[in-house]
Structure 1
């Protein structure tokens, strides 16, 4: 019986220093890591490690996703990358942030965002509710760095 090292590697991501995570990103994706929060890096690295060892999506899954994309945009792949607000995360995305040892989860909805079951129009309002201080919501959730670049 062979030992599968992937579960241990996935568990180790939680305690790996961020600079090491970024180095792993460069190695596994052959690109610079995005400026998103640590949690995003962990989840994408975990997915990539599993994909490389266990295989990616099945060809029929890829075909189905492409078919759904064509239904959405009529086959115009350029439209797939275009959104009214390019910086806004795609509906269904879950933003994660740990604040004072409590994980905060904010789903992106069609109308804005949701936190603790309540709808919000802005991430800044959610960040303010969580921290009780003024924050740029995009910075708080790691979608922009403190200089305003995405």
Structure 2
């Protein structure tokens, strides 16, 4: 009779373990928040890697500082309670109506309401105002930037690319 090994072979395609994120002592929060204001971009990005365990997004300095400040406080004092998180999820469901396409679009990828998008095309400057649920161009509401780009050019365009909010060939 032969003995079988009880060892389980490690799968080759298993994802690497998630990086461990350090706990921040509450006494260090205020000095670290103050240090964010004078940190270089490289230092902010390095802190992002340490505190989030992933590469920083390509956003501006104020965004990185605000998210890092929140993350430091979250690690020191704790995050949202499960009940609060569930309530926010439910509110999100109400806002997007269960629409999978809307859910895929990152909330921070859309410009804030009131933002004015400028685009010169054929020597004419075109101005679009971002509103809460749509876009305004020449006093008329449009559901998408692509519809406005089509109106301006007469051809089909990706509106995000036409207005310079995204590079051609990238996804939302």
Report if the CA contact (8 A) 2:26-2:77 is conserved: no
Shift of 1:24: 0.6
Report if the CA contact (8 A) 2:26-2:76 is conserved: no
- Structure 1 unaligned spans of 5+: 94-107, 113-137
Shift of 1:74: 3.4
Asked if 1:88 is matched to 2:145, the reply is: no
Superposed, 1:1-150 pairs within 5 Å as 4-77=27-100, 79-82=102-105, 87-89=109-111, 91=113, 109-110=131-132
Calculate the TM-score normalised by the size of structure 1: 0.55
Q: What is the CA–CA distance in structure 2 between the aligned matches of 1:37 and 1:25, rounded to whole Å?
A: 13
Could you list the structure 1 runs, at least 4 aligned residues long, displaced by more than 6 angstroms after superposition.
none
Q: What is the CA–CA distance in structure 2 between the aligned matches of 1:91 and 1:55, rounded to whole Å?
A: 31
Q: What is the CA–CA distance in structure 2 between the aligned matches of 1:91 and 1:51, rounded to whole Å?
A: 28
Q: Which has the higher contact order (CA 8 A, sep 6+)?
A: 1
**Residues 55/91 of structure 1: CA separation in 2 closer, same or farther (3 Å cut):** farther
Q: What is the CA–CA distance in structure 2 between the aligned matches of 1:46 and 1:59, rounded to whole Å?
A: 21
**Residues 3/60 of structure 1: CA separation in 2 closer, same or farther (3 Å cut):** closer
**Residues 70/6 of structure 1: CA separation in 2 closer, same or farther (3 Å cut):** same
**Residues 19/144 of structure 1: CA separation in 2 closer, same or farther (3 Å cut):** farther
Calculate the TM-score normalised by the size of structure 2: 0.48
What is the root-mean-square deviation in Å for CA atoms of aligned residues? 4.0
Aligned length: 107
Shift of 1:7: 0.8
